[in-house]
Structure 1
Amino acid sequence: MPAPNPAASPVLRSAGRPMPNASTTRDPLDSPLWPSMAERYLGGLPAIFDDRVAVALPPVTEDQTQVPLTVDARAIGPVEELLVIADLNPFPLTLRLVPTAAQAFVAFRMKIEQGTPIRAAARRDGLWHVGGRYLDAAGGGCSVPPVVEKKVDWRNLGRMRGRVWREAHDLRLRLRMTHPMDNGMIANVPLFIVETLTVSDASGRQLASLTLSEAIADDPTLTLLVAGPETEALTVTARNTAGNDFRARAAVPPADAQSAEMQGRP
């Protein structure tokens, strides 16, 4: 049997777990689509499978339109970019986080069309560290119309509610935005989603930016860990596919307080 050629695949080896004897390029989740996912989204850079990139999924998927997901890659240190990829979803690249002054951590909810490997890829010094798990789910979270007609709160479109907590060296920001995430797959419902979201400190310095896809669940819910315990406030700005901009401000609690609420109107 000829020796495997590392240059033939963007995945070089597996870190943190015993490798199968067959090949150093084998995907631990055995997804036939992973090579094409890596080629499409990792920009030709090398990658390793790394257990330090943790993906937390629910043991049971009760609602395919609201699947909670947490990615934590803090164990590998500061990263330049964090991607979440669902191999078998219609929109594989689910979320992109650029943690300019934030931790490699994000929690959110997404829509799932079928059971699929879900990956997180963290880029550091020209190398992708990839972790993931398989999510077992029934079908239709992206393409099946809801049984009950979805009601959109148009009056409060873009309104953000949230809270900021102080942690040891960071600020934990949790927010929810009133906005549909219509992916265009359901008849007579055009594409209408929140595309981008940024978090800045009181001076305007950008701490984190996110690009959201059609796979994000309605009324996006996000949790981030950002730097800047010394700042007085965090500002969140978002834009949707119609070009509408939204803004909210969250005061940072004083050192002796636990948390502070976000205030923002569309």
Structure 2
Amino acid sequence: MHRRQVLGALGLLGAAPCLAQDADPFATLGWPELRREFLAGGTACFDARVTVEGPAFAEDPMNVPVGISAEALGEEVEQIRVIVDRNPIRRVLDFYPGAGVRPSLGLRFKLEQASPVRAAVRLRDGSWRVGGALVDSAGGGCTVPGQTRRDGSWTQHLGEISARLFAREGGARLRLRVMHPMDTGLAGGIPAFHLQHLALRDATGRELLRMDCAEPLSENPVFSFDLIGPPPGPLRIEADDNNGNRFEGAVAS
């Protein structure tokens, strides 16, 4: 089993809580461009309190698991943006945790080649805090069709949502999966076909969290979220894709 990398307070960022915005701990020449494109040129720094956990080597580049946390930043977090430097499509998703949801998530994504995987966290004052992990890989995850696309089975289960809550200290963990081929548009003859939005709502329709999704998410993507305290009654999941399909599901307790 390959070791897992965590870049945080005792990792690549060292003991300092925040490094200058152009002091990229990965020393990649493309960081200034990434900052302009994905952080709108805003004020940013590399912060030990933003952690990204992932495999040192991705054995399956089409299904790379990572866990991201900005809980150490407290209640100031408004958005978490996941970026993969060397993917042909670099933005993976944007996560907006609402009241009662911790600023942390688990996800799976496609990786084209060895790359830094970054979590950029936008605070209420508009500034960004950035953490990351380096994930090695044989690559090719973004430019080949998924299994359900190859065997045609995606049509039988498109949009099916399965979700379940698990008790944990201080609240509950929600784990969910949405059946979707998540085509990047980079495999020959297969156009882009992917989830665009996903939201979790309570019984009154109040939005607890939402995500803007992009092509690099894995086929039949799996997510996990942490809720603070007991769930506020029955929960519903709503999603849509770039072809105008809409999907709904309930959360099993």
Give TM-score scaled by structure 1 length. Answer: 0.82
Instruction: Trace 1:183-198 onto structure 2 (pairs within 5 A).
Output: 183-198=184-199
**Aligned residue type for 1:82:** I
Where 2:164 maps in the other structure, the secondary structure is: strand
Q: CA deviation at 1:56?
A: 0.5
Q: Gaps spanning 5+ residues in structure 2: where? A: 1-12
Deviates most, 54-63 or 212-221: 54-63
After superposition, the Cα gap between the structure-2 partners of 1:19 and 1:108, relative to the gap in structure 1 and judged at 3 Å, is closer
Q: CA deviation at 1:198?
A: 0.3
How far apart, CA to CA, are the structure 2 residues paired with 1:138 and 1:37? Answer: 23
How far apart, CA to CA, are the structure 1 residues paired with 2:55 and 2:226? Answer: 21
**Aligned residue type for 2:74:** G
Q: CA deviation at 1:146?
A: 6.2
Q: Which residue of 1 aligns with 2:239?
A: 238
After superposition, the Cα gap between the structure-2 partners of 1:147 and 1:76, relative to the gap in structure 1 and judged at 3 Å, is closer
Preserved contact between residue 52 and residue 75 of structure 1 (Cα < 8 Å): yes
Q: Which residue of 1 aligns with 2:211?
A: 210
For the pair shown, the structure with the greater C-alpha radius of gyration is 1
Q: Which residue of 2 aligns with 1:255?
A: none
Q: Which residue of 1 aligns with 2:130?
A: 130
How far apart, CA to CA, are the structure 1 residues paired with 2:58 and 2:192? Answer: 25
**Aligned residue type for 1:84:** V
Paired residue for 1:88, among 83, 86, 89?
A: 86
How far apart, CA to CA, are the structure 1 residues paired with 2:28 and 2:34? Answer: 10
When the two structures are aligned, how many residues end up with a matched partner? 237
How far apart, CA to CA, are the structure 1 residues paired with 2:41 and 2:247? Answer: 35
Deviates most, 214-223 or 125-134: 125-134
How far apart, CA to CA, are the structure 1 residues paired with 2:222 and 2:211? Answer: 13
How far apart, CA to CA, are the structure 1 residues paired with 2:73 and 2:49? Answer: 6
Say if 2:49 is the partner of 1:56. no
Preserved contact between residue 207 and residue 227 of structure 1 (Cα < 8 Å): no
Q: Gaps spanning 5+ residues in structure 1: where? A: 1-13, 252-259, 261-266
**Aligned residue type for 1:166:** A
Q: CA deviation at 1:58?
A: 1.1
How far apart, CA to CA, are the structure 2 residues paired with 1:108 and 1:209? Answer: 14
Preserved contact between residue 201 and residue 228 of structure 1 (Cα < 8 Å): no
Preserved contact between residue 207 and residue 226 of structure 1 (Cα < 8 Å): no
How far apart, CA to CA, are the structure 2 residues paired with 1:19 and 1:53? Answer: 10
Q: Which residue of 2 aligns with 1:26?
A: 23
- Deviation by residue 1:57-109 (Cα, 9 ceiling, x = unmatched): 11321111010111111111120111111111111111100112221111111
Preserved contact between residue 15 and residue 49 of structure 1 (Cα < 8 Å): no
**Aligned residue type for 1:142:** C
How far apart, CA to CA, are the structure 2 residues paired with 1:60 and 1:191? Answer: 27
After superposition, the Cα gap between the structure-2 partners of 1:54 and 1:89, relative to the gap in structure 1 and judged at 3 Å, is same
Preserved contact between residue 116 and residue 134 of structure 1 (Cα < 8 Å): yes
Q: Which residue of 1 aligns with 2:119?
A: 120
In angstroms, what is the RMSD of aligned CA positions? 2.2
Q: CA deviation at 1:178?
A: 1.1
Instruction: Trace 1:32-71 onto structure 2 (pairs within 5 A).
Output: 32-71=29-68
Q: CA deviation at 1:19?
A: 9.2
